[in-house]
Amino acid sequence: MAALFFLLVLGIMGEWAKQKLKTAEIIWKPPPFLSASSTEEWQIDSPPVKIPLFYRLHFLLRGKFHPQGEHSLKSGVFAQTSFQRGRTRAGLGISFPVGGLFFGEGSTRLRDVFGLFSFYCGKDSFLAVKIMGSPCYAKALRINTVSGSEDRRSRQSSDEERYYMREYAAGDRLRDINWKSSERLDALITRISPLNQEKVSRIEIYFRNYGPLKPGIGELWLLDRLKARLSWFIRNIKDENDNFVFDVYSGSSYWELVDRESIDAFFLELSAISFCREQGGQSPIYAGANKQGELFVFSCACDAGLQAFINSHNDRSINLFLAADGNGDGIADDGEGSSGNQAAILKLGQFPEWGIIPLSAGFLYGRKNPVNVSIPGMLIDYASVKL
């Protein structure tokens, strides 16, 4: 009898608290610039509400995850956490095996510690989260600062003397003043060494995200590794010389990356870009490119038109970064013809451990894509999918 009375009181307490929590909203925040395989906890915040004795507030996250933003391939995601009594913040452990796009729905439950009652309460919240691929690593890459096409200002011969000079500004050293030119031009002129000129070199990049319209997990894993290599390339070059500007062309878009803010925004956008179909000939986006100097091409083995693209630019120096199927057996350690790293392996059997359940048949197959191109100095990242 006492047990029944206790259950009755426990249920009434839960129902009363449920009404009080009817308008409560749980705020969930993924880490900024979230990448695949990240172990960083998501931040879950609750309003300061009074929870009855023997009860705890639980947060449940459900949703669908699309690897590389490919909507034809989806998987279900489930994760949950609970708030300690008297706390308004909790951590949610959730990780994704590859980069892509996650559409999540957060909901709240009020549960007793005995597991007898569960009350739905609060407001549901929705959020779309972009997940970048896990980073790749390799030996340092050196790019000559004159590799890109250089931005130059046209000048007349009469301005030749001014080309390595400028008007005096507060803070300039007096010993750098060119007194002869200053007297002749009736203005203080400061010498500027040609080595210290502020010049901008543009790096032209073509990201060939061409592939099947309904790719399997194998092709999307290659695309994931290709994006990681592109991100690695841009970050390394920008760290080496902050004056570089990147002109990035894909099958359907163009980006001008001038500063680190635009680069970070590009990486987030890149995480949700899947394959597109090449419509014959070159991309209309790329048709307006400068097409001078070196060209840096990023592609994967399922790009059927890659060889034709390279042949059409045989008058230029091409640097090719390729993601290809393979376990990486026999890869040279000196980076000749490969990244010098061990092949990246995606294990499908680990998906349930991360709370991710494949829902599409595309997770069961991945076509083998033979490497259909070879040029001197190309860098290959090998990747494979295993159960």
Domain boundaries, the chain: 10-131, 154-196, 201-386
Chain segment 345-374, per-residue pLDDT in tens = 999 888 888 888 988 888 877 677 777 787
Chain segment 227-243, per-residue pLDDT in tens = 999 999 999 889 888 88
Angle at 120 between CA 119 and CA 126, to 5 degrees: 155
Assign 108 a pLDDT band (cuts: 50, 70, 90).
very high
Residue 113 is classified by DSSP as T
Non-local (6+) Cβ contacts of 24 within 8 A are 46, 47, 49, 108, 121, 122, 123
How far is it, in rounded angstroms, from Cα 181 to Cα 152?
23
* pLDDT higher than 90, residue 39: no
Question: Looking at 18-22, 147-151, 249-253, which range is the least confident one?
Answer: 147-151
Out of 3.30.70.20, 2.40.10.480, 1.10.340.70, 2.60.40.10, select the CATH number for domain 10-131. Answer: 2.60.40.10
How far is it, in rounded angstroms, from Cα 357 to Cα 229?
27
Assign 60 a pLDDT band (cuts: 50, 70, 90).
very high
Q: What are the start-end ranges of the H helices in 179-314?
A: 179-185, 217-240, 260-270, 306-311
Chain segment 171-218, per-residue pLDDT in tens = 566 667 777 777 777 777 777 654 444 455 889 999 999 988 889 999
Non-local (6+) Cβ contacts of 168 within 8 A are 177, 182, 187, 188, 189, 190
